[in-house]
Amino acid sequence: MQSTKALLAILLSAAFFFMFQPSHGTAQSRRTPDRMGAGIVPAATEDLIKTQATDIVRGIIEGLSEGDYSLFTSHFSEDMKKAQSRETFLQLQKSLQKKLGIVRSVEYLGHYVQYGGTVTLFKARFSKEPEDVLIKLVLDRDKPSPMVTGLWLDSPRLAN
């Protein structure tokens, strides 16, 4: 049981402590503040973020569903790939399917910019979870192709 919790903490990059805090208590990064100023994002950029983040989260979910490590990590940063080996991925996949079931739907909720990263939010429905599951995907958009630098799944079932 403890090894499962440790495994989930590695993947999710910040242990579950931050997932159950109010939104103003999120983890902080050492990155510089948003270069776009007061958080105003042009509509074209907002549409691009939504499209890119949705494609990435779908790949992550499809990789988890199919047990495809390459697809799951295809947009992960090097640090995220180091934290999630193929073996721990397979354990994670088994644990998530046991606790949450399979993904029924995913809906983009929005994004915000924090400490130079773009935090995108999704709600997902799983077959064994009657409540929505919040998926928080952090992207480093300084690269030509956005890279995942953080991933959280917020569900009380994962804390057990």
Is residue 35 domain-resident?
Answer: no
Spatial contact of 9 and 17, defined as CB atoms under 8 Å apart:
no
Which CATH number fits the domain that encloses residue 142? 3.10.450.590
Closest CA to 57 of 77, 71, 70: 71
Band of pLDDT at residue 137, cut at 50, 70 and 90: very high
- Between CA 30 and CA 23 the distance in angstroms is 18
- Between CA 87 and CA 141 the distance in angstroms is 28
Q: Please indicate whether residue 42 or residue 87 has the higher confidence score (pLDDT).
A: 87
Mean pLDDT, the chain, integer: 78
Is residue 52 domain-resident?
Answer: yes
**Domain assignment of residue 97, given as a range:** 2-18+42-159
Q: Residue 59: what are its φ and ψ, rounded to 5°? A: -65, -40
Is residue 30 domain-resident?
Answer: no
Is residue 31 domain-resident?
Answer: no
pLDDT number for residue 36: 42
Is residue 154 domain-resident?
Answer: yes
Q: Please indicate whether residue 1 or residue 92 has the higher confidence score (pLDDT).
A: 92
CB-neighbour burial class of residue 137 (10 A; exposed 0-12, middle 13-18, buried 19+): buried
Note the pTM of the prediction, 2 decimals: 0.73
Is residue 98 domain-resident?
Answer: yes
Band of pLDDT at residue 136, cut at 50, 70 and 90: very high
Is residue 120 domain-resident?
Answer: yes
pLDDT at 130 over 80: yes
Please compute the mean of the pLDDT values over residues 135-159 and round it to a whole number. Answer: 91
pLDDT number for residue 135: 97
Q: Please indicate whether residue 60 or residue 22 has the higher confidence score (pLDDT).
A: 60
Looking at the 3D structure of the chain, how many domains does it have? 1
pLDDT at 3 over 60: no
Is residue 29 domain-resident?
Answer: no
Full 3-state SS string of 99-148: HCCCEEEEEEEEEEEECCEEEEEEEEEECCEEEEEEEEEEEECCCCCCEE
Q: What is the pLDDT of residues 27-81, one digit of tens each?
A: 333 333 344 444 545 666 889 999 999 999 999 999 999 999 999 999 999 999 9
Max Cα distance, the chain (Å) = 46
